């Protein structure tokens, strides 16, 4: 594992990551370093008060936008629901909600204040965006946020729901928007059963890296 130079934004090749995908540690969460990282298939993931850890897993969990799976029950739910879906209406509320949602098997959240601040800066630069789901009381009840890693690659960072199926609504909307914008691939980073049920799948890291150079 490599220690990053505080004064340089250079990362080691992703092929040097260990079997878990851990590549390097150290550095900072400046927007300059984050943009270089995502452009090279690398992302930060660490717990509060720990050294910053940088990852490039192999295989990589991704969604090809036209492979989004919408079940019959979900199609019916979308038709009948009164939820409103927006983009970039409240990025800060979305990322803070992602941080607050309890996730099984995790002691706490990896989305601590330092990371929240860093991604808000990316958003203000136009390098990240949010999708929000609102109920009929105009309450934010679901959503996700995304980093624009490359021209045709979006990285879905985290999502949340406070009412059933609202994170699915946000994710499906993301996939449909990606199709409209001619985005080639949505990077989901790591495998989960939930993402797989929505059509995401693992591909070799080398294959994923090709999309970042497109």
Q: Yes or no: say if 44 and 21 are a contact pair by the CB < 8 Å rule.
A: no
Residues 193 and 129 in one domain: yes
Which pLDDT score, from 0 to 100, does residue 109 have? 55
Residues 128 and 146 in one domain: yes
Phi then psi for residue 34, to 5 deg, are: -60, -40
Residues 31 and 117 in one domain: no
Range of the domain at 92: 61-212
User: Could you list the pLDDT tens digit for every one of the 214 residues in the chain?
Assistant: 899 988 899 999 999 999 999 999 999 999 999 999 999 999 999 988 889 999 999 999 999 999 999 999 999 999 999 999 999 999 999 999 999 976 444 444 578 999 999 999 999 999 999 999 999 999 999 999 999 999 999 999 999 999 999 999 999 999 999 999 999 999 999 999 999 999 999 999 999 999 999 7
106: helix, strand or coil: coil
Residues 134 and 29 in one domain: no
Strands (E) in 58-200, as ranges, are 60-63, 84-87, 128-134, 140-150, 153-161, 185-189
Six-digit token pair at 55?
């990852």
Residues 131 and 41 in one domain: no
How many structural domains does the chain have? 2
Which pLDDT score, from 0 to 100, does residue 108 have? 42
Residues 163 and 196 in one domain: yes
Residues 141 and 85 in one domain: yes
Which pLDDT score, from 0 to 100, does residue 95 have? 98
Residues 45 and 106 in one domain: no
Which pLDDT score, from 0 to 100, does residue 102 have? 60
Q: CA 30 to CA 94: how far, in whole Å? A: 21
Q: What is the CATH number of the domain that holds 90?
A: 3.40.630.70
Q: Yes or no: say if 191 and 202 are a contact pair by the CB < 8 Å rule.
A: yes
Residues 192 and 124 in one domain: yes
Q: What is the CATH number of the domain that holds 18?
A: 3.30.70.3550
Which pLDDT score, from 0 to 100, does residue 106 have? 43
Residues 66 and 51 in one domain: no
Give residue for tokens 């505080």.
6
DSSP class of residue 201 equals E
């Amino acid at each position: 594992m490599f220690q990053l130079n505080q004064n340089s934004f250079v990362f080691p090749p992703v092929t040097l990551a260990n079997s878990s995908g851990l590549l390097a540690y150290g550095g900072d969460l400046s927007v300059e370093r984050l943009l270089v990282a995502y452009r090279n298939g690398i992302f930060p993931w660490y717990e509060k008060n720990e050294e910053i850890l940088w990852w490039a897993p192999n295989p990589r969990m991704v969604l090809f936008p036209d492979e989004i799976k919408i079940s019959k029950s979900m199609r019916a739910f979308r038709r009948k629901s009164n939820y409103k879906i927006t983009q970039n209406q409240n990025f800060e509320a979305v990322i803070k909600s992602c941080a607050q949602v309890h996730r099984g098997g995790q002691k706490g959240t990896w989305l601590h204040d330092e990371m929240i601040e860093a991604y808000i800066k990316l958003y203000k630069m136009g390098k990240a965006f949010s999708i929000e789901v609102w109920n009929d009381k105009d309450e934010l009840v679901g959503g996700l946020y995304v980093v624009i890693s490359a021209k045709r690659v979006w990285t879905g960072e985290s999502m949340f729901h406070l009412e059933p199926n609202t994170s699915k609504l946000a994710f499906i909307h993301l996939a449909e928007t990606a199709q409209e914008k001619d985005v080639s691939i949505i990077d989901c980073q790591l495998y989960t059963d939930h993402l797989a049920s929505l059509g995401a799948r693992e591909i070799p890291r080398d294959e994923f890296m090709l999309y970042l150079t497109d």
